[in-house]
Amino acid sequence: MFLNSRHPSLGPARRLPRRGLPAALTAVAAALATAGVAWGTTTAAAAPAGPRTCALNDLYVSIGHKEGAAGSLYWSVVLTNTSSTKCALRGYPGVSALDTAHHRIGPVATRSGTPYATVTLAPAHTATAVLRTTNGPIGGPCRPTASYLRVYPPASHTAVLVPAHWKTCSNIFQTGPVNTEGTF
């Protein structure tokens, strides 16, 4: 058997005896790895990179309109790109209601289950995530009114406190995904 290598660090090609082949292959693989050559891999063209994920410091988070319909109350969380470049958001924000001392009131918002897509935000453009509760104690009592909402943008481990007089009723506190249509 003849092992041929064109890598300069391995020297000229040489004939190897059959019984020494496994040890020789190990030596060749080690030499290739040392020289920075990946063994047994293929290279593919890199996929074009999309915009980076929006970080919390790229966003201004505020509260939008309140709307009621069919026993529900909907309120939008507005995320505005304040950076000078495009960035992307995908998924659901984390949201919880807080009192004036910043203690959580009740459980965190659950996800609506609505499908979502990546939202690319140009500078100064906005996306929303709609929150939902009931329009009063329909199927259970209301919790105390919150003074703030703690909002974690999608893919963020850092939150922002947004002043908001939010009241969760009937143990329903849901969030929809970030989108540009303003839908739940």
What pLDDT, on the 0 to 100 scale, is given for residue 27? 52
pLDDT digits (tens, 9 = 90+) for 139-173: 789 999 999 999 999 999 999 999 999 999 999 99
What pLDDT, on the 0 to 100 scale, is given for residue 30? 52
Residue numbers of the chain with a pLDDT score lower than 50: 1-22, 24-26, 28-29, 32-33, 35-43
Which domains does the chain possess? Answer: 2-34 (no CATH), 56-175 (2.60.40)
What's the chain's Rg over C-alpha atoms? 28
Report how far apart, in Å, the C-alpha atoms of 79 and of each of 41, 49, 100, 126 are. Answer: 42, 23, 23, 5
What pLDDT, on the 0 to 100 scale, is given for residue 16? 37
What pLDDT, on the 0 to 100 scale, is given for residue 74? 96
Pairing of strands 126-134, 72-81: antiparallel
